Homo-oligomer: A and B are copies of this chain.
Amino acid sequence: MTEAQQARQEARAGRLGVTRGVALGFVQCNLVILQQHAAYDFLLYCQRNQKACPVLEVTDVGDPEPKRTAPGADLRTDVPKYAVYREGQRVEDETDITRLWEPGFVAFLIGSGITFDGALEQAGVPTNQHRWVLRTTIPTEPAGPFHGNLVVTMRWLTPAQALIATQVSARFPFNHGAPIHIGDPNQIGADLAQPLFGEPIGVIPSKYVPVFWACGVTPQAAAEAAKIDLMITHAPAHGFISDLRSDRICLP
């Protein structure tokens, strides 16, 4: 059994929490589940904003098995924690969504920046600290009801690490790729006062430079903004671990 399969089994048994650092080397995915009538506009939104929204798999209507990225897995149980949104509001968290599953559901698996953590670590860039998910004022390209601003991952790195991380992440063009910005957070309107998770961020120590990547939470934010009747996502930092090897989606 691979580490990815093991992690999913743990998730299914309710024994897995945060997935950061789990099964390094396997592609971690953000999950968005929508009803069929919203699927085309959402897929189009992802296509129009593909740096933020690299779609790795779209399941067939009603089928909870991600046949292409993790055959045998079950998207109703194999994510450690789910967030349920109604009309754009997060109303409850669940560890199992079997009872909520509908025959018209379509699940989208979207590449997460956690995917290149393994490659960054191998290149000597630490990934277990100084990382936040932030809103910006950069508009995305809308599609149907889906709209909103780009969400980014900010990492604080030394200048040398920043240059290495740029080169390493550029090898993952189908998974956010290279950074979209480096330096002054104000230039992209990054909201340090209200990170999506965690405490407000203080002054950046002078030895670090902030580096910003397009983040796979962007489409979730767009779906929230669209006030879609019903949407289920993974809970932050509780991603879906696929069987895809990170190496497979990176360039040589």
Chain A positions within 8 Å of B, measured between CB atoms, are 39-40, 43-44, 47-48, 50, 55, 58, 68, 141, 170, 173-174, 251-252
Contacts and interface: CB of A to CB of B under 8 A. Distances in A.
Contacts of A44: 43, 58
Given A47-B47, A251-B251, 13 more contacts: A40-B40, A40-B43, A43-B43, A43-B44, A44-B58, A47-B58, A48-B68, A68-B141, A170-B251, A170-B252, A173-B173, A173-B174, A173-B251
Nearest to A39: B40
A171 to B, nearest CB: 9
- 4 A-B pairs closest in CB distance: A40-B40, A173-B173, A43-B43, A47-B55
A34 to B, nearest CB: 12
A170 B173 CA distance: 11
Contacts of A50: 174
